[in-house]
């Protein structure tokens, strides 16, 4: 069985492209090199046929990425419950049964923890529940949750979101009481919605909708009274219904199907709850343009694009990017209005692999939303929006301008140019020149250059630009050094000069 430290080690090794010594891994984990050896052994002896982390004498350890990909979906099964996961499990058990009381033994018995730890968990759960307008009630040896049905469901959605579920089969795996019949019914309703709208509901919005219908089925089966949710529509809810007649009609049909499936009457407010999820989901259509969206959404997108272009010191804009942002911003505004949160299971990967893009997106988006709405959004939302800019930047890589320079003689410079262009066709070679020519017009060359590739000793060159010293034959070592510098420039790339 893997513990949290094993999983932390794996997450670290996923980010490494080459071997890492036990000292490097130990420094990251804040343990001794000997402990690292024990951790690696524990990981490799876990329930899997192949070694996940390979070792080579004198080089250290490296993740076998093929093995990782084959078994990454099983990683959650290999680890024991962390305290956070344990409390999340208990919370879901309480919420699904609310307002009915549940015995402490039933909630915590299978975790084999002390009474002191149970009491600490109860205190933390009480604080978490209160932040959502609910109350945890302890009576003798039982716990229950009291408060509005809407708040209970929102907290259930949030707790399920923390489980990192990304597909329907994962939902079935996490919730063993989800029968095949219920699963087929829920998927059938999502298929029905997509057919009616002639659109696709992508992840994670389809998972949120699946979860909501699953909650409905479970809550009503566990004795939720029909009048619990029998609330009158307020002014804002009536407005949303009037503004979205097609979506509300589809929501009503889904609730009708659910009532027939459960053989009971479902209150009208449930139609509105389904509507909330539909207007808060990103619906994909093949014929979408940014001009289809309201002036307010177009203004927000325009401001975000301008902010990002300013931050990166170059034009970041395209019709495709604006459509992507518009399709996200419209339901985002509805999620903010309705208090709906979506979990981004890719958040860690996005923020660690593209830290600059993530940070700049967070600052730009929150600046714009503060201006228009007086609100900021979660990092989960920022992660999704950062993906659109990451895609744009990957499709439109910054052109790196280079100078080829030798001490004297254009002949050697031209030879070097041919070799550089052969291995790095993405470089725009601005000029081929001698050191003397460069020195005469240094400011002019520096203004249009990102990189200097030269056979001249770097201490002889006075320049504000990065310089790479290479052999005129441009060996494999030279090629690797240039590749690393290009990668470095591409990741720092978009800093304004």
More confident residue, 231 or 73: 231
Q: Is the pLDDT of residue 46 over 70?
A: no
Q: What local confidence, expressed as pLDDT, does residue 42 receive?
A: 85
Q: What local confidence, expressed as pLDDT, does residue 75 receive?
A: 47
Rounded Cα distance between 236 and 292, Å, is 23
- What number of other Cβ atoms are within 10 A of residue 122's Cβ? 18
Of 42-46, 47-51, 60-64, 165-169, the one with minimum mean pLDDT is 47-51
Rounded Cα distance between 48 and 66, Å, is 13
Largest CA distance in the chain: 92
pLDDT digit string (tens) for 428-466? 898 888 888 888 888 888 888 889 998 877 676 777 888
pLDDT digit string (tens) for 27-37? 999 999 999 99
More confident residue, 492 or 384: 384
Q: Is the pLDDT of residue 125 over 70?
A: yes
- Of all residues in the chain, the percent with pLDDT exceeding 90 is 33
Nearest Cα residue to 272 out of 233, 218, 221:
233
Q: Is the pLDDT of residue 306 over 70?
A: yes
pLDDT digit string (tens) for 74-88? 544 444 567 888 898
Q: Is the pLDDT of residue 203 over 90?
A: no
* Alpha-carbon separation of residue 72 from 3, 79, 85, 95 (angstroms): 15, 12, 18, 30
pLDDT digit string (tens) for 47-70? 566 788 999 988 999 998 888 776
Q: What local confidence, expressed as pLDDT, does residue 176 receive?
A: 78
pLDDT band at residue 387 under the 50/70/90 scheme: very high
Mean pLDDT, range 244-271, rounded to an integer: 93
Q: Is the pLDDT of residue 408 over 80?
A: no
Which strands form 451-454's sheet, in the order they lie side by side? 428-434, 401-406, 451-454, 467-469
Q: What local confidence, expressed as pLDDT, does residue 285 receive?
A: 62
Q: Is the pLDDT of residue 105 over 50?
A: yes
Q: What is the pTM of this model?
A: 0.60
Q: Is the pLDDT of residue 4 over 60?
A: yes
pLDDT digit string (tens) for 341-376? 888 878 888 988 888 899 999 999 999 999 999 999
**CB of 53 within 8 A of CB of 62?**
yes
- What number of other Cβ atoms are within 10 A of residue 345's Cβ? 18
Q: Is the pLDDT of residue 113 over 80?
A: no
How remote is the C-alpha of 258 from its chain's centroid?
32
Which segments of 313-407 does DSSP mark as H helices, in order? 319-338, 347-353, 355-373, 379-395
Q: Which domains does the chain have, with CATH numbers?
A: 4-78 (1.10.10.10), 83-226 (no CATH), 290-395 (1.10.1790.10), 401-492 (3.40.50)
More confident residue, 95 or 45: 95
Of 116-120, 299-303, 490-494, the one with minimum mean pLDDT is 490-494
Nearest Cα residue to 454 out of 410, 415, 403, 489:
403
Of 24-28, 394-398, 421-425, the one with minimum mean pLDDT is 394-398
pLDDT digit string (tens) for 268-287? 889 998 998 898 888 766 45
Mean confidence (pLDDT) of the chain: 84
Rounded Cα distance between 332 and 280, Å, is 6
Mean pLDDT, range 231-255, rounded to an integer: 88
Would strands 467-469 and 451-454 be described as parallel, antiparallel, or unpaired? Answer: parallel
More confident residue, 350 or 6: 350
């Amino acid at each position: 069985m893997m513990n949290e430290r094993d999983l932390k080690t794996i997450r670290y090794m996923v980010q490494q492209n080459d071997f890492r010594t036990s000292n490097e891994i130990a420094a990251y984990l804040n343990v001794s090199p000997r402990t690292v050896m024990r951790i690696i052994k524990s990981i490799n002896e876990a329930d899997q046929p192949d070694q996940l982390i390979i070792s080579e004498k004198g080089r250290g350890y490296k993740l076998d990425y093929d093995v990782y990909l084959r078994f990454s979906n099983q990683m959650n099964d290999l680890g024991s419950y962390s305290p956070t996961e344990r409390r999340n499990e208990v919370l879901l058990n309480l919420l699904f049964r609310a307002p009915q009381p549940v015995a402490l033994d039933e909630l915590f018995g299978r975790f084999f923890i002390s009474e002191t730890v149970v009491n600490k968990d109860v205190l933390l759960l009480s604080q978490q529940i209160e932040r959502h307008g609910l109350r945890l009630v302890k009576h003798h040896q039982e716990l229950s949750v009291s408060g509005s049905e809407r708040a209970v469901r929102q907290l259930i959605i949030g707790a399920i979101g923390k489980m990192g579920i990304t597909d329907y089969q994962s939902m079935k795996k996490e919730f063993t009481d989800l029968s095949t019949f219920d699963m087929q019914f829920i998927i059938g309703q999502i298929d029905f919605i997509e057919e009616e709208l002639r659109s696709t509901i992508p992840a994670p919005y389809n998972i949120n909708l699946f979860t909501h219908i699953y909650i409905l089925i479970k809550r009503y089966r566990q004795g939720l009274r029909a009048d619990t949710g029998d609330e009158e529509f307020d002014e804002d809810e009536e407005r949303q219904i009037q503004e979205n007649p097609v979506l509300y009609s589809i929501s009503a049909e889904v609730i009708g199907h659910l009532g027939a499936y459960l053989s009971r009457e479902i209150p009208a407010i449930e139609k509105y709850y389904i509507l909330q999820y539909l207007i808060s989901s990103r619906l994909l259509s093949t014929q979408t343009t940014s001009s289809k969206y309201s002036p307010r959404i177009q203004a927000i997108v325009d401001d975000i694009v301008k902010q990002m272009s300013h931050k990166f010191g170059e034009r970041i804009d395209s019709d495709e990017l604006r459509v992507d942002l518009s399709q996200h911003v419209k339901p985002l505004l509805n999620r903010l209005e309705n208090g709906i949160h979506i979990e981004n299971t890719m958040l860690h990967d996005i923020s660690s692999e593209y830290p600059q893009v993530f940070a700049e997106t967070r600052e730009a988006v929150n600046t714009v939303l503060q201006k228009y709405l007086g609100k900021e959004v979660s990092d989960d939302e920022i992660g999704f929006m950062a993906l659109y800019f990451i895609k744009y930047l990957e499709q439109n890589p910054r052109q790196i301008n280079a100078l080829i320079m030798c001490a004297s003689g254009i002949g050697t410079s031209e030879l070097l140019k041919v070799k550089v262009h052969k291995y790095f066709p993405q470089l725009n070679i601005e000029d081929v020149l001698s050191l003397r020519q460069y020195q005469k017009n240094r400011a002019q060359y520096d203004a249009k250059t990102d990189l200097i590739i030269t056979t001249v000793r770097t201490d002889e060159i006075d320049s504000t630009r990065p310089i790479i010293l290479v052999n005129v034959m441009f060996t494999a070592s030279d090629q690797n050094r240039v590749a690393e510098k290009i990668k470095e420039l591409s990741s720092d790339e978009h800093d304004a000069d």
